[in-house]
A and B are shown apart, each in its own frame.
Chain A
Amino acid sequence: MDSKAYLDMSLLRFTTAGSVDDGKSTLIGRLLYDSKSIFEDQLLAIEETSKRKGQEEVDLSLLTDGLRAEREQGITIDVAYRYFATPLRKFIIADTPGHIQYTRNMVTGASTANLAIILVDARNGVLEQTLRHTFIASLLNIPHVVFCINKMDLVGYKKETYDTIKKELEQLVVKLNLRDARFIPISAKYGDNVVDPSEHMDWYNGTTLLHLLETIEINHDLNMTDGRFPVQYVIRPQQKDHHDYRGYAGRIASGIFKPGDKVKVLPSELTTEIKAIDFYREEIDEAQPSQSITLRLTHEIDISRGGMIVHQGNEPTISNNFTLDICWFNEKPLDLSKKYLLRHTTNELKCIIKEVNYRTNIVTYEKDFADKNIKMNEIANITLVTAKPIFYDSYRKNRTTGSVILIDEGTNETVAAGMIN
């Protein structure tokens, strides 16, 4: 495959959610192993460790457990990133633990994912953790969810078992209003429908998991309509040969920008046009979401980091008072008397939590208006007041301009992740 083709390959980022006994690590190991993405020395290392642990077969889950403590305990503690590629696509797996005390890790891994794989043990069906994992995928607005009903080998590969579980999951999809949900019966241990089609499930006509991962459309997931460019860094060389150069560098959050576009600069609300879009030494005709570029404007307007350049006529909400869903990360519970720092795109400002509106039960999905004491790993809806207005869109419309993190001023810890309503 030539170099240009490799770099043009699309990238799919997906999470894998499931409990330690669901076979999630085995599934990842199998994807890496069967797509020939693991190296000889890695395979040798896990073969040796498997033998030392007294296991008969190669324990593929050992591929994904990195840190010492985890290897000793046999479970994953943090978000582990794994990389592999097939001729069709590059992948990044964010492997997260399934226990409820690691909800925050799941939220973290899910924040940048295009797709979520949720594992269900065919023997047990939909469990509390399935409800939790699906809720998180929905909350984080992951565009595609794939339910893998695993361990089909242990239920005799029966269609009825799969259908029953699938029906229950479909109700969940409707309840949570998931954008796109798929279902696949698999056996991670023996490889059925993971990379190769299963020989034991003739009744299943769908694709294998890997084929789905390779071909699922992700282009449409990008927001190409709302032009949002948060200013990250101002480039002013002030050198002899670039005396007057003033460029606003950053990453396109959404929308398409072209030279000549009529734009508005926030917070000043002054209007101007894009004079040029620089990409290193070239001037380009068009810039798309996720591209890191430098904008030059027709007029000399004072913008600093934290400002935003948007298209005239299609502007974000400007306010210092708004509601959002948060996941609390910190061991110390939410404290209404505390001042926090908010990071939103390239902006950082002080804020206070005015009110906790309700706590969300992530199993029943009900709103709890009574118990408003928000502890680690809990999801709540709050009202925030910021020192200055920010320019945002709802998270459902724009994952970049609708997302925030809260930082504890004293400890510098990231205490919560937020999704603006």
Chain B
Amino acid sequence: MREIAAQFEKPVLLFSGGKDSIVLVHLAVKAFYPARIPFPLLHIDTGHNFQETLDYRDELVERTGAKLYVGSVQASIDKGRATEEMGIGASRNKLQTVTLLDTLEELKADAAIGGGRRDEEKARAKERFFSHRDAFGQWDPKNQRPELWNLFNGKKNMGEHFRVFPISNWTEMDVWQYILMENIPMPSLYYTHKRRVFMRDGIWLAEAPFMELKDGEEIVELDVRCRTIGDISCTGLNLSTADNLEDIVKEVAASRVTERGGRSDDKRSEAAMEDRKKEGYF
């Protein structure tokens, strides 16, 4: 965190309301204490967020005194910068990339801090802490700089920026244990709650006005919780009655499926994440 603040002029912290970005904010608060976090938070709002996510975000901003910018995917669609996907299985996940790159440019941000971890997914296993993105915001695996010892090279030319992933080496278990140890308040979605859901391709998805149902898909009300949080359109919910952090940790430890195994945006193809990153995604 301190290295980022020292090497870049206008870093922003990408905040999604998910556990990884929540941990990042907590780490930033600790890193600069007693001063405030010297960079703002940026939330890319798809318009398809769970309401709980938005509420949590606003409360966090107030609690930490951090500055918040919101990039709106709906606004990008309205401006004609992005095209809405239609039909069954449509999602605004990919559209986020356009909004993200446009907003970063507007803010003249030279570094975007994200909560990506290497253990999350195959394409992230090779990601650097300081990941260079070219003038088009794109990631070229062949251009990434070697990172030795604790020395990070954040040098860049005009128009280029970096994505930085401070918790690259943390596993899902590490994140939850840290949350537990530091007693960080979490969005209610992570805890068990009753929700109207339907099953599609082996995953429970949440009911929402913009979610089209296929024939045969039925809505039921179940006790569920999220293990990872994305848009409503691509976040799988797990059947669970875990209502406190200790139980969540036990569930994670006993789990047989990776955290992102419940994300339909990764399932689209084997190299889904890699392709999205090449375009400029997180």
A contacts, CB < 8 Å to B: 3-4, 6-7, 39-42, 45, 49, 66-68, 71, 78-83, 85, 90, 92, 104-105, 107-108, 111-112, 232-233, 235-239, 241-242, 245, 249-251, 278, 280-281, 292, 294, 305, 329, 341, 343-344, 346, 399-400, 403-405, 407, 412-414, 417
Contact = CB atoms under 8 A, between A and B. Distances in A.
Given A108-B147, A235-B34, A85 B173 contact: yes
Contact of B171 (A67, A85, A108, A250): A85
Contacts of A292: 2, 31
Given A80-B125, A233-B6, A292-B31, A104 B146 contact: yes
B30 A280 contact: yes
A294 to B, nearest CB: 8
Output the residue of A81, A237, A238, A292 with the most chain B CB within 10 A: A81
Contact of B5 (A233, A236, A242): A233
Contacts of B150: 112, 251, 400
A237 B34 contact: yes
B258 A237 contact: no
A403 B246 CA distance: 41
Nearest to B180: A3
A189 B177 CA distance: 34
13 contacts: A40-B257, A41-B257, A41-B261, A42-B258, A66-B123, A80-B125, A92-B169, A112-B149, A237-B34, A238-B35, A239-B35, A249-B31, A412-B155
Interface in B84-100: none
B34 A403 contact: no
Interface size bracket, B side:
35 or more
Given A67-B123, A305-B6, A3 B149 contact: no
Given A407-B155, A412-B157, A108 B148 contact: yes
Contacts of B35: 235-239, 242, 245
B178 interface: yes
Given A92-B169, A235-B35, 5 more contacts: A3-B177, A41-B257, A111-B149, A292-B31, A412-B153
Contact of B118 (A68, A83, A104, A414): A83
B261 A39 contact: yes
B122 interface: yes
Contacts of A4: 181
Contact of B146 (A45, A105, A233): A105
B33 interface: yes
B177 A41 contact: no
Contacts of B169: 81, 83, 92
Interface in B137-151: 141, 144-151
Given A78-B126, A81-B118, A403 B2 contact: no
B177 A6 contact: yes
A281 B148 contact: no
Nearest to A290: B150
B219 to A, nearest CB: 26
Interface in B155-171: 155-157, 168-169, 171
B240 to A, nearest CB: 17
Contacts of A405: 148, 151, 153
B32 to A, nearest CB: 6
B149 A399 contact: yes
A111 B151 CA distance: 10
B62 interface: no
Contacts, number: 139
Interface string B179-191: 0110000000000
Contacts of A341: 155
A403 B151 contact: yes
Contact of A67 (B36, B246, B274): B274
A417 B147 CA distance: 9
Interface string B33-65: 111100000000000000000000000000000
Contacts of B145: 413-414
Interface string B247-275: 00100000111100100000000110010
A191 B69 CA distance: 53
A73 B278 CA distance: 20
B146 A66 contact: no
A245 B34 contact: yes
A399 to B, nearest CB: 7
B207 interface: no
B3 interface: yes
B223 interface: no
A195 B119 CA distance: 22
B258 A39 contact: yes
A250 B36 CA distance: 17
Contact of B156 (A7, A399, A412): A412
Q: Which 5 A-B residue pairings sit nearest by Cβ, starting from the closest?
A: A237-B35, A233-B2, A41-B261, A111-B148, A412-B155
A289 to B, nearest CB: 12
Contacts of B181: 3-4, 7
Contacts of A249: 2, 31-32
